Amino acid sequence: MTATDAPIGVFDSGFGGLTVARALFDQLPGEDTVYLGDTARAPYGTKSIPEVREYALECLDYLAGSGVKALVIACNSASSAVLRDARERYDVPVVDVILPAARRAVRASRDGRIGLICTEATATSGSYDDALAAVPGIELVTEPCPSFVDFVEAGVTGGPELLDAARGYLLPLRETGIDTLILGCTHYPLLAGVISYVIGDEVTLVSSAEECAKEVFATLTDAGLLHEGPREPERRFLTTGSPELFAGIGRRLIGGVIDEVEQVYTAAGVPGGRRPSS
């Protein structure tokens, strides 16, 4: 296998990174991918940065060891915890979700007032603050929205309970006068309808998933690693948790692209042996 023929490795704590995978399928339709969701230890957003770093590196080590040509950290919490380490640790390109989204938000903002909704771990890390610190005239307003992940993973993308939660998070943010909002968790694009409804059409939404996929395309193009011409891609899905649960939720979130799901596990839920879904 040549470097060009190797798959793209996509890692997330659970299901949110499937929005990144979906964007990759759309923007790089001829590329093989292998997706690993650490659902046995999800969610990462409520865990400490050292815990997230430990778990994320274990999963990234697994993907890197399987022979991928690039690693995509499709999780804002994990990107916050391990990006610098990952770029030093692996000899393939590493793309995260934070820097591409931050750059896009700067371009989209009319007056420099940018909002960020994210998990507690991402907010605590200050990773978006760091990404925007060198840009003059930018003011970042951050609002953690922890329950949004629970809604997505329960398959709830509408209804009065979600709307009430969205209003609680977003109405104070709207009052600050932001003109651009970063969806700083890869689960959140699946709630774009309710988010836009509450925050208002005048606020531009920036999807970290979409921007990450664009960055992967550019990175592989610059490195000469893209496949040329049309081809039928191979798409593998791995989880440290239940493959049946992953398949069910995954199909509900991004449609029928998920067929078989393999479990990679040890007693602690760390990648090791494999058991496919039935």
Which residues are identified as catalytic? 75, 185
Tell me the C-alpha distance between 250 and 187, whole Å: 12
How large is the angle between the packed helices 243-254 and 18-27, nearest 10 degrees? 60
Contact (CB, 8 A) for 76 and 46: no
Dump the DSSP string for 20-55.
Answer: HHHHHHHH-TT--EEEEE-TTS---TTS-HHHHHHH
Sign of CA dihedral 199, 204, 210, 215: negative
Which position has the token pair 């865990």?
47
Residue with tokens 């629970």: 150
- Among residues 278, 207, 277, 182, the alpha carbon closest in space to that of 237 is found at 277
Compute the radius of gyration of the chain from its Cα atoms. Answer: 18
Among 255, 229, 153, 158, which residue's Cα sits nearest to residue 197? 158
Two tokens, residue 154: 């329960």
CA pair distance 37, 12, nearest whole angstrom: 5
Mark 47-72 as b/e (b = at least 16 C-beta within 10 Å).
beeeebbebbbbbbebbbebebbbbb
